[in-house]
Amino acid sequence: MDSKPRRCTSRADARRASLWAALGAALATGPAAAADASSPVDWVNTYIGTGSDGAGGSDYGGTMPLVTTPFGTTNWIAQTRENSISVSSYAFEDHTISGFIGTHQPAIWMGDYGYVTLIPEVDAIKTAQHDRGLPFARSDEVTTPYYYSVLLDAGGGRRIRAEITATDHCGLLRFTFPAKARPSVVVEATRFLTPGHVHVDPAAREITGDNPDRMDAHLSNVVLPHFKGYFVVQFRTAFRSHGVYLGKELHPGLGTAAGPSAGAYTSFAPGGAGTVIEVKVGTSFISLEQARRNLHLELPGWDFERQRAALKDTWNGKLGALSVEGASDEQRHIFYTGLYHALLYPKLFSEHGRYYSAFDDRVHRGVSYTAFSLWDTFRAENSLLTLLAPERVDGMVQALLQDYREGGWMPKWPNPSYTNIMIATHADSVVAEAINKGFHGFDYRLAYQAVRKDAMTPPDGDTTRDWHDRQAHVPYEARAGLTWYKKLGYVAADKTAESASSTLEDTYDDYAVAQVARAVGRQDDYRFFIERSHNYRNLYNPATGFMQARNADGSWADPDAGWTEGDKWVYTYSVLHDVPGLMALMGGADKYNATLDEHFRGDHNHHDNEPSHHYGYLYDFSGQPWKTQARVRQIAHDYYTDTPNGIAGNEDCGQMSAWYIFTAMGFYPLNPASGDYMIGSPLFSRVTLTLPGGRRFVVAAPHNSATNLYIQSARLNGQPLAAPLITWRDIQAGGVLEFDMGPAPSQWAAAWRGAPLAP
């Protein structure tokens, strides 16, 4: 996924019997699912993906029950452990909470940046994370996308209630302290070795500060001297006392602290029947003044219930774009939780018309986004957003182009700057997909400059670095080994790490670049890149029937060498833009199907990682679409559950969920830049997608069931559909896609063959 280390694939069946799964199933009917389910957001179970079978490792969903807006900049969450690269702030198996963090961490294999943490306390002020944790029970926890609540055990029969709701850049928290206890709130600005700043203004009832931490800063050579996460914390209640701290050293009465492990605290007068302390937190990457302005614009008052209701309405508005019929309760939880996960990313990075650029260290006017996990999300997540959030697509593409203008390249995984995570330059695909789908809110010529540079300009030091995983303090990686790719027609295994995977993914990106060239009238360039997109052929070894890395002298490398989170089984069919051409290269449909059968039969399909996500749909191309129908049903059943460990593998910024959402609807963007969707087997009897302007696209399968999983016939707007695909234009026009389902395979769409990509 977004980690590059080879991931454990032992969880091939996410439904295997285990005590952990049983516990998760029981809790699926708990606080996260306890609503009356009268609206879409009530079906979201934010526990899904937060557990790891009790093993405590990082190879799990890595999701958090975030309180935030769709695509929100700052997400709010109970902190059950101190987050870092490979550690999320929240894990289902934990039993203590050490604070409530405004986090920007997008995925478990990425770090946080510019975060701020608030800690409610009684008795002595405790600043260390391991000292301040308070126990809690799942039965006392309520978690939804718009509201979080928990009771913390403060000892001696005392409990603190913490509640959270949010806006794009701000958090609204409410702490209810027990009677006759000294209520305090600690604000942690920075941690060990990270110098920060904090200031207390008792007259304004305010704590302000900044945090310059970028956990992933070592993953490129970008230096950002002006980068800071700014925060303004405002309290509704007057302070009784206050102080600052550095590490564990408290400085009562002082108002300013600067250095590592910096923070501040304030205490309030205890109430006889308990004390309610309301807190607003504004965040910004521009300035303290902007953080305060964000508060003024987004949280002008102190009406907690009103903001909670407003955020619930916001989520219902986005989740309600899709409605389903004929789903079980479990399927509804998985479906709407998947939508919630998909609508978190990429993250808004601009602040009411301005944004800080983590590429040139300056403030600009405009709209910006970050947390594009492109190696993961170009496959389905970004395609899903063109359907569910089309109003944001232009701004997301423009953000990538701004990064190019300000930093020299479009990023592959900004967090918030370059990180050199994963391979290839899949921003090319996102740009091409937006253009092919008719989005026009960005400069096409600037887009072509950006994608052409990806395709033609090797990164600095390309022939002297092997670009292995997570190299520290190196220039932007772009297409690693592009020098050899241009010279040889493939990335050389004895020159560049992960060469075989890079070659195959570069050929797809060449196809994407060709689409942009055509859109700006560069026909010669279009033909050049289409021709070069056939370079996947250079890795096919006819003696073995698999793709294989090659050395610079043309010899075959070790069959196990050159792969990214996969092997020859995972990558041989990774020719998203020319599956018919690959089938011809392999010797025709019979050989293609036989190898594909062995791929599944031999347990080589690791759906817990993205390179396998299209495999279930590959039979559509080879005359056996009924196998696609069976496979995608099986994958959806085996890898997704309504439990804390219900995502097999890291969620990766919505990609795992996007696969499920598309599959549930009955189609999938195997070649996302093309605008085509391959048909699988819809999970429900009816799915309705509401489009801009009130148009609707309906997928109807009235006799659908767990046994009636095979398509017998299909119609699009009443006309017979003989091909196992539909297009973006079909969906945008609105209408009805109808499937007649049955219990046995049929010959529907078996005669269809796609044409190989013309050179």
pLDDT bucket at 56, cuts 50 / 70 / 90: low
Alpha-carbon separation of residue 368 from 395, 512, 548 (angstroms): 7, 23, 40
Query: What number of helices (H) and strands (E) belong to the chain?
Result: 19, 33
How confident is the model at residue 434, as a pLDDT?
A: 98
pLDDT digits (tens, 9 = 90+) for 274-298: 899 999 999 999 999 999 999 999 9
3-state secondary structure at position 717? coil
Q: Is the pLDDT of residue 738 over 60?
A: yes
- Say if residue 78's pLDDT is above 80: yes
Average pLDDT over residues 320-329: 96
State the Cα–Cα distance between residues 592 and 298, nearest whole angstrom: 56
Give me the torsion for CA of 38, 41, 43, 49, rounded to 10°.
-170
The CATH number given to 58-319 is: 2.70.98.10
Residue 18 has pLDDT above 80, yes or no: no
Element (H, E) at 185: strand 184-188
Q: DSSP code of 750?
A: T
Residue 412: which of 394, 433, 430 has the closest Cα? 430
Predicted confidence (pLDDT) per residue in 205-224, tens digit: 999 999 999 999 999 999 99
> What is the token pair recorded at 13?
């069946």
* Between 4 and 327, the higher pLDDT residue: 327
The predicted structure's pLDDT at residue 586: 98
Supply angle C-alpha 524, 530, 536, rounded to 5.
150
Q: How far, in Å, CA of 244 to CA of 392, rounded? A: 41
Q: Where are the domains of the chain?
A: 58-319, 423-563+567-605
- In this structure, CATH architecture of domain 423-563+567-605: Up-down Bundle (1.20)
State mean pLDDT over 361-366. 98
| Range name among 43-57, 106-120, 264-278, 322-336 with the lowest pLDDT average | 43-57
Structure tokens at 616: 């279930």
Mean pLDDT (whole number) for 333-358: 98
Enter the pTM of the model. Answer: 0.95
Nearest to 653 by CA among 216, 113, 106: 106
Residues with Cβ < 8 Å from 323, sequence gap 6 or more? 40, 687, 688, 690
Where is average pLDDT lowest: 32-41, 539-548, 622-631, 677-686? 32-41
Identify which of 114, 110, 413 has the alpha carbon closest to the alpha carbon of residue 290. 114
Of residues 2 and 59, more confidence is placed in 59
For range 418-443, the mean pLDDT: 97
Share of the chain above pLDDT 90, in %: 91
CB 170 within 8 A of CB 299: yes
Nearest to 683 by CA among 322, 319, 325: 325
